[in-house]
Amino acid sequence: MVVKRDEAGGHEVGDDEARGAESTARRGRRPGASTTRDEILAAARRQFAELGFRRTSVRAIAREAGVDPKLVGHWFGGKAELFVASVQLPFSPRELADRIAQGDPDRVGERLVTALVHGVLEDPAARGRGIALLRAVATEPQLAPLLRRLVVAEVLTPVARAIGADHAEVRASLVASQMVGLLMMRHVVELGPLVERGPDELVALVAPTVQRYLTGELPLA
């Protein structure tokens, strides 16, 4: 039996109890309604967008979704994990890392920047989710470890290791600074020279720097 902790009250929730809570909360709902998990996510997206992270509560999300608050903990863990799930990151970290690492190591920077520009920056929905995450991390320190794990530990560091780079974590951190900086400066600060550049030109401009971070010599002791 899987046991998870209910964020609201510290109560441990098992599969049987969670199913019972779901049955109680959802009794009488029309057949064919979306799954409990999807309804929780939909309520979370609306409330996080309207109220922000700090003012949104797990109990309010559960109330809107029509479920027991214990089910939120059962499906997602805590509010921070629910927030990350609700913004629907536009990639699977493992699949993205594998795809970028495959091929000529001398073009890994190009593949990585192409994935960011075409997969995130040029997709309005994906770009909006990325910006929301960055803004949330800037004001809510408890979200920072989730972002570090998702971007650096699960994507960039595996890429650096897969191509045989030394100092993989240092290189991954440098790449992260470049990628986050591009997203922030182009789409939050809206620096004109970056906003005016098209996607292919951005890739051509940024990829050499990312390539150097991943495979070039670093002045490390």
Token readout for 220 is: 């490390």
Mean pLDDT of 105-131: 91
For residue 214, the model assigns a pLDDT of 98
Extract long-range pairs of 154-158: CB within 8 Å, 24+ residues apart. 154/93, 154/94, 154/97, 155/93, 155/96, 155/97, 155/100, 156/97, 156/112, 158/94, 158/97, 158/101
Largest CA distance in the chain: 66
In the predicted structure, residue 80 carries a pLDDT above the cut 90: no
pTM attached to this predicted model: 0.72
Give me the domains of the chain, ranges plus CATH numbers: 3-86 (1.10.10.60), 93-215 (1.10.357.10)
Highest mean pLDDT, choosing among 51-55, 103-107, 137-141: 103-107
- Looking at the chain, the whole-number percentage of residues with pLDDT higher than 70 is 83
**Is residue 182 classed exposed, middle or buried when 0-12, 13-18 and 19+ CB atoms within 10 A define those classes?**
buried
Give residue 145's pLDDT band: very low, low, confident or very high (50, 70, 90). Answer: confident
82: left (phi over 0), alpha (psi -120 to 50) or beta: alpha
Q: What is the pLDDT of residues 158-211, one digit of tens each?
A: 999 999 999 999 999 999 999 999 999 999 899 999 999 999 999 999 999 999
Mean pLDDT of 99-110: 96
Q: How far apart are CA 121 and CA 126, in angstroms?
A: 7
For residue 20, the model assigns a pLDDT of 47
Highest mean pLDDT, choosing among 14-28, 124-138, 190-204: 190-204
Terminal CA-CA length for the chain: 50
For residue 60, the model assigns a pLDDT of 97
How high does pLDDT run on average in the chain?
84
Q: 19 vs 172, which has greater pLDDT?
A: 172
Q: 83 vs 50, which has greater pLDDT?
A: 83
- The CA-based angle 142-148-154, given to 5 degrees, is 135
For residue 34, the model assigns a pLDDT of 59
Instruction: Give the residue among 170, 131, 105 at the shortest CA–CA distance from 49.
Output: 131
SS3 14: strand
